[in-house]
Amino acid sequence: MAKDAALVIFGKAPIPGLVKTRLCPPLTQDEAATLQGSLILDVVERSRPIEKTARLDRFLACAPSREHVFFKILQERQGLHLIDQVGEDLGRRMDHAFKEIFALGYKRLLLVGTDVPTLSASSYGQALSLLADHDLVLGPSLDGGYYLIGLKKPAPDLFTDIPWSTDQVYSLTREKAETLGLKTGLLPTCRDLDTIDDLLALAREAGPPPIAPCLSTRTAGVLYLLAKRLGTALH
């Protein structure tokens, strides 16, 4: 380990029926899986430049397994380190990932999901800068959760007794951080993509391709085609 910072991307393999299930219906399982694959690629591709600019290593925490061919291809093409997601719920999986990567000797660690396709590479640099004088960094999402969390050491209490996938995740995490005496820095609030309303809102904001600077051309195209199939006007 030669670098002091790491980014852990939490991702599920785009397997029909196992991802983006809250979008089905009206999306088909295949459509949801296609969207999931595009979202993972977004985070992986957009984060690659910071390996050099921020001297940061990238890990992909994989579900159901790092042996899945989708992850193996990403590893080969993108230079990622693969680990498995381990734990019965999201909190335990995140806590395990932090402990596993910190044990390698890193001093600053960011963990990000794949549900914010508008997240820019500069956000990671901003999060690392905040960790210089904060113990914890959070990227709040509009639905009451968070899309990014950064720490300088393991903090298992942040991940216990949290009702995951509810609108209380962010507020309860802030309360826990205050109780633990952790100084918290915040990134801008972003919309994540969990529901059909989120999908349609992002599609409207982006507009028809190629005029979607906040999104990758690939994901903008996927959202446009899905919204069009659902009969939604984007103009």
What number is the average pLDDT over the span 142-156?
96
pLDDT at 161 over 60: yes
Query: How does pLDDT run across 39-82, given as a tens digit for each residue?
Result: 999 999 999 988 888 889 999 999 999 999 999 999 999 999 99
pLDDT at 119 over 90: yes
Q: What is the reported pLDDT for 234?
A: 56
What number is the average pLDDT over the span 107-114?
97
Query: How does pLDDT run across 130-143, given as a tens digit for each residue?
Result: 999 999 999 999 99
Query: How does pLDDT run across 79-106, given as a tens digit for each residue?
Result: 999 999 999 999 999 999 999 999 999 9
What does the alpha-carbon distance between residue 39 and residue 22 come to, in Å, rounded to a whole number? 16
Q: What is the reported pLDDT for 1?
A: 52
Percent of the chain at pLDDT exceeding 90 = 83
Report which residue type is found at 58: R
